[in-house]
Amino acid sequence: MESHEIKRIDRITEIVHNLLKGKTPNPIPCEDDPEDEIRQLTEKVNTLALDFKEIKEFIVPLSQGDLKAQLPKRNILASPFKQLQSSLSHLTWQTRQIARGDYNQRVDFMGDFSQSFNSMTEALKEARSQLLSETERFKSLADLKTHYLNVMAHDIRTPVGAVIGFADILLEGNLDDDEKKHVQIIKRSCESLIALIDNILDMAKLEKHRMELVSVPFSARILGQDAGAMIQPKLSRQTQFVFYADDQIPEKIIGDPHRLQQVLINLLGNAAKFTDNGTITLGMQLRNQDDDTDVKLYFSVEDTGIGIEKDKLEKIFTPFAQADGSIASRFGGTGLGLAISRELVTLMGGTLEVISQPGTGTTFCFTLPFRIPDESEAGIPCSDFRPCSNISNILVVDDDPNALKIISNMLTRYGVRFTLCQDSTCAYDMLIRAYEEKDSFTLAWIDIDMPKLNGLELAEKIRSDICLNQLRLVACTSYSERISDSGSPSHFSFIAKKPVSPDALQRILKEAGGSGDSSADDADELSGISLLLVDDNPINRFLVTNMLQKLDVRITEAEDGSEAVERVSGNTFDLVMMDKMMPVMDGTEAIRRIREIYDSSTLPIMAFTANDFEADTRELLTAGANGVIFKPIVYEDMISSLCEAIRVKRDT
């Protein structure tokens, strides 16, 4: 064999060697002689190398999961890879079926892998079965928890409501000062227990994502004023509440006023708890108004209390947790208020944030989006500020610059002429000077709690001067008891309780100007009506009867829903009050039965319940109730609801 032929064979051997190592060598050039046997062998080796290259280009994407890679045609190496591609495609389809819950899929074409895959499928099937079983168990426990909370709310609120009701009856009697304090303590303790129950129920709703928001028009200013009035009794005598609302805030916005007020009350209550001396400020500011339909408001509650350590700021939002273990023992509380507030703010589209410095105070703040109602949604417009022309000149005396700023804003919007005085020792001289200049003040708005010369002393000095005997005085204080307990309550024509709302200010100015008109009390609308009271609890019936008999309401009692249906069928009533949870026949079923006889305008039905879950309210309203009153029954709320129901009856 010649040397050049040996080299050609060595080249062929080298290519085969590279192929066995997985390499793809370049093809060997062939001789021109077709009869050359080495040339024929070379062509076959070149064809094998090309097939190997094509298979390699196919197998790489296949190994990366691309089952749609195209297998080369007329390739001597393609057959086993075609079977592999088909097997992997079928395995992928079976895996997808398993992912959809079909655990009956089995693999039987891949040897040992098939056994492992089938074992894995069986394990997944068993795990899914256990998961479904546990899910059902937890669902049953969640339903049991909800039922327990409903029963707890009813069974605790009912007797606690009775205690509050009897406390109110006692407070109306002839009690001495010590007895009144004791009864008031009983009432406040019961109200604290009711608040705790409400917090637990709200936390349960938020955990189960069952909290539902409403969207109704409301006034942010009035809501803030109401929140301030509700928190006032919790403030120490050395703590002042200040409310400030941006003048640019729309008169009405659309949102959930109940949940927003709940957040503000929680934050203000927290501030009151930790502020013994200083100021608590509730602020509302317009952040931006993109167009005529959307607006964002910034809310802040700032106090000058004890503050919170930086490393404990996040902990305060954890349910049942407080900044440190001594807080609960020193100040009380369950640690639910802030946790609920953060969840509610998030639910309403904002983020509750906190800034605090120990020894200086704390600020909670958040921004919420609202819609501005159109004319059809706005309903009755909020009352505008109207000028009080009969009040020609007012002197406002208060040592707090924030309070002066707030009342000056309100008086400016009323179109009233006024002068501010921050130093009470200068107030008397200002009054005398105005009298001598024949531009007398007609009304003096006097803060009671001032240094140097307090409001009571200033009033005494004014009343001793005959030149000022026509001047009418308004006492402004957080504690009206100080006026009645003082020796000179008759010095004042009016008493304004802080924080002063625009409505309260307008009412005082109208009365002082002689333009006030008294309206009939809502309770007069109930005089002489016939009412069916349905409740299985005799204590509840006694309390409601005690409240309503003073208004000359004729009451018939029934102990359960079945008796109520029977009495309605045989008698004529103007109104029905129906408890929800009763034996024999509950209130929901009784309302349905009564609605088969009378419609909602012919015989209004007010349901009352200790459960404030939205589902319970919807159930009662769907059954045919005109409205729902929640326990413990608050006298003013009950009277307002009953009057509204009677108006519906009389208007039809």
The pTM score is 0.51
Question: Which pLDDT does position 574 carry in this prediction?
Answer: 93
Cα separation, 59 vs 77, in Å, equals 11
pLDDT value at residue 389: 44
Segment-wise mean pLDDT, segments of 10 residues, the chain, 652 residues: 72 76 74 68 77 72 68 65 69 79 75 73 81 84 72 73 82 82 82 75 68 82 82 82 87 88 89 89 86 86 89 74 50 68 91 91 94 66 43 84 82 82 93 88 89 89 87 80 60 76 72 46 76 91 86 92 92 92 92 93 89 77 90 79 84 70
**Pick from 219, 357, 349, 337: which is nearest to 272 by CA?**
337
Whole-Å CA distances, 550 to 175, 485, 526, 557, 626: 20, 29, 10, 17, 24
CATH fold of the domain at 216-378: Heat Shock Protein 90 (3.30.565)
Cis bond before residue 250 (omega within 30° of 0): no
What is the structure's pLDDT at 481?
61
Whole-angstrom distance, CA of residue 234 vs CA of residue 35:
114
Quote the pLDDT of residue 518. Answer: 33
How many residues are given for the chain? Answer: 652
Cβ neighbours of residue 267 closer than 8 Å, sequence gap 6 or more: 301, 338, 341, 364
What is the maximal distance between C-alpha atoms in the chain?
Answer: 148
496 in Cβ contact with 474 (< 8 Å): yes
At residue 264, the pLDDT reads: 92
Closest CA to 536 of 481, 582, 580: 582
- Measured distance CA(164)–CA(184) in Å, rounded: 9
And the tokens for 634? 């608050």
Positions of CATH 3.30.565.10 in the chain:
216-378
pLDDT at 503: 67
Output the pLDDT for position 559.
93
Task: State the span(s) of the chain assigned CATH 3.40.50.2300.
Answer: 394-512, 522-650
Residue 520's pLDDT is 40
What does the DSSP assignment read for 104-140?
A: T----SSTHHHHHHHHHHHHHHHHHHHHHHHHHHHHH
pLDDT of residue 109: 66
Helix, strand, coil distribution of the chain in percent, nearest 5: 50, 15, 35
Looking at residue 551, its pLDDT comes to: 85
CATH number attached to the domain at 394-512: 3.40.50.2300
Superfamily for domain range 522-650: Response regulator (3.40.50.2300)
